[in-house]
Amino acid sequence: MARYESVLGLIGETPLVEISALSPNPDARLFIKLEGQNPGGSVKDRVALSMIEIAESDGILKPGQPDQILMEPSSGNTGIGLAMVCKVKGYHLKVVMPTNVSIERRQLLELWGAEIIESPGTEGSNGAVRMAQKLAGEHPEWKFLYQYGNPANPQAHFEGTGPEILRDCPDITHFVAGLGTSGTLLGVGRYLRETRGNAVQIWAVEPPSGETVDGLRNLDDGYIPPIFEELGGAELLDRKTVVRPRESIEWTRRLTDVGIFAGISTGAALAGAIKCASSLEPGVEASIVVVSADGGWKYLSTGAWTDDLDEVTERAKSIIYF
Amino acid sequence: MAVEVRLPTVLRTHAGGASSVQLTGATLGDVLAKLVAEYPGLAGQVVQDDGSLHKFVNIYVNDDDVRYLQGLDTPVPDGAEISILPAVAGG
């Protein structure tokens, strides 16, 4: 049945596609979960809907009542997912977003009617979080769902993404995903641990954002999402690896060889999965599942697929793509 | 073992503006001790006075976070690249 009462019913149940043609190891099968198939275009639709529905059931948000304002820090995808859900449900959204994101991220927020509050690009997402926390203190009437500290974020993945992955790939041995809020890794990781124990390894991939974020005054301006600490992220992860912009773009391009058009963070996550596949002993059979957080549409303006690799790499160093 | 240590912008002022430093050592701990010996302004910043890594710093040996390897005891192979990065959010 492909008929839905609302577009929100399209969130989740994303496809898992085999891309073993890209695996460097004949014993390691590779699968990619295409979260760009969500109606708002990213994995964050799940988080947005989960946070809003739980806020509604807790009475923090009241469906149908006018003039309810939400405010959230986001480098893009959570803001876009929230903006779409808010449009459908009739809430007003303000998104605190660093200035150095792709133009498409801004445009999508605008088309869903969200208001953008700019935070300094030199401070990256950390600066957006800090500004949002300050604004939340000044405006207690705004509802602050706070994806970095809201258990509804990993819960969406524990209840949705994780079970979908295990159903579609019962012999999964490795799960690889990008680390942003840590919601995907915590939710899926905990689900896989509870159901498959140590038969599954959990790998996190992150960009070297701290290298280019030069607005931090000292290391104390660093940031770890509270959910990561509260839900034992450090104990859950088996490995964490950094993937640089050039490699991220190279693997984003390689994905088109198997017909997949995905965002730059997917290239980074895939590079981590390739590293994982290469690290296995010969003869050890593995099924590696990697998450594609979004499609490529929001990054066309970066020239990621069409421009000179050196130029695109330089450009990617100055934008936030996680 | 000769290694290259890459410093983030936030720490470069304590290292005479250098973005990377060539050092030697068998483990990450050895290398970081030499880094502080060369640039005393970095003392207590990356590795705190109690010997633990600063909460908001991530260190990678050849792109792997040492918290998921052997921490400061992580061996550093010859030619390794060590990156020190402040913890930054995404999302």
Tell me the pLDDT tens digit for each residue of A1-38: 799 999 999 999 999 999 999 999 999 999 999 999 99
Mean pLDDT of the A202-215 span: 82
CA distance B16 to A124: 25
What six digits make up the tokens of A67?
Answer: 């003039």
The answer to whether the CB atoms of B91 and A322 lie below 8 A apart is: yes
Q: How close does chain B come to A166, measured CA to CA in Å?
A: 24
Q: How close does chain B come to A280, measured CA to CA in Å?
A: 16
What's the pTM? 0.96
**Is any Cβ of chain B less than 8 angstroms from the Cβ of A146?**
no
**DSSP letter assigned to residue B16:** T
**Is any Cβ of chain B less than 8 angstroms from the Cβ of A219?**
yes
CA distance B15 to B41: 7
Mean pLDDT of the A196-218 span: 86
Per-residue confidence (pLDDT) for residue A175, from 0 to 100: 98
Burial tier of A303 (Cβ tally within 10 Å: 0-12, 13-18, 19+): middle
Residues of B in Cβ contact (< 8 Å) with A44: 91
Mean of per-residue pLDDT scores for chain A: 95
CA distance A291 to A242: 16
Chain B nearest-CA residue for A233: B68
Per-residue confidence (pLDDT) for residue A219, from 0 to 100: 83
Among A77, A240, A320, most B C-beta atoms within 10 A, so best to mutate, is A240
Active-site annotation of A, residues: 44, 265
CA distance B37 to A55: 52
Structure-token match 């140590």, residue found: A198
Tell me the pLDDT tens digit for each residue of A243-289: 999 999 999 999 999 999 999 999 999 999 999 999 999 999 999 99
Tell me the pLDDT tens digit for each residue of A134-176: 999 999 999 999 999 999 999 999 999 999 999 999 999 999 9
CA distance A272 to A204: 8
Mean pLDDT per 10-residue segment, chain B (91 residues) = 92 92 96 95 88 92 96 96 91 80
Among A219, A221, A227, most B C-beta atoms within 10 A, so best to mutate, is A219
The answer to whether the CB atoms of B8 and A77 lie below 8 A apart is: no
Q: Across the strands, what pairs with A100?
A: none
Per-residue confidence (pLDDT) for residue B44, from 0 to 100: 87
Contact, B66 vs B59, CB < 8 A? Answer: yes
Per-residue confidence (pLDDT) for residue A212, from 0 to 100: 64
Domains of chain A: 7-37+161-317 (3.40.50.1100), 44-144 (3.40.50.1100)
Residues of A in Cβ contact (< 8 Å) with B57: 219, 222
Chain B nearest-CA residue for A229: B55
Residues of B in Cβ contact (< 8 Å) with A214: 9-10
Residue A209 has pLDDT above 80, yes or no: no
Q: How close does chain B come to A21, measured CA to CA in Å?
A: 25
**Is any Cβ of chain B less than 8 angstroms from the Cβ of A114?**
no
What six digits make up the tokens of A7?
Answer: 């577009």
Phi, psi of A242 (to 5 degrees): -100, 140
Residues of A in Cβ contact (< 8 Å) with B44: none
CA distances from A120 to A117, A322, B79 (A): 10, 17, 36
Out of A44, A223, A234, closest to residue B88 by CB: A223
Exposure of A253 in the CB half-sphere (CA atoms within 13 A): 16
Out of B46, B58, B88, closest to residue A124 by CB: B88
A286 Cβ contact partners less than 8 Å away, ≥ 6 residues apart: A25, A27, A28, A29, A173, A174, A277, A280
**Is any Cβ of chain B less than 8 angstroms from the Cβ of A233?**
no
Out of B63, B83, B89, closest to residue A225 by CB: B89
Out of A126, A183, A238, closest to residue B88 by CB: A126
**Is any Cβ of chain B less than 8 angstroms from the Cβ of A222?**
yes
Per-residue confidence (pLDDT) for residue A217, from 0 to 100: 77
Torsional class of A203: left (φ above 0), alpha (ψ -120 to 50), beta (otherwise): beta
Per-residue confidence (pLDDT) for residue A215, from 0 to 100: 72
Per-residue confidence (pLDDT) for residue A321, from 0 to 100: 82
Per-residue confidence (pLDDT) for residue A319, from 0 to 100: 84
Domains of chain B: 2-86 (3.10.20.30)
Residues of A in Cβ contact (< 8 Å) with B88: 124-126, 209-210, 213, 222-223
Residues of A in Cβ contact (< 8 Å) with B56: 219-224
Residue A103 has pLDDT above 70, yes or no: yes
Residue A89 has pLDDT above 90, yes or no: yes
Helices (H) and strands (E) in chain A, counts: 13, 10
What six digits make up the tokens of B43?
Answer: 């003392």
Per-residue confidence (pLDDT) for residue A222, from 0 to 100: 87
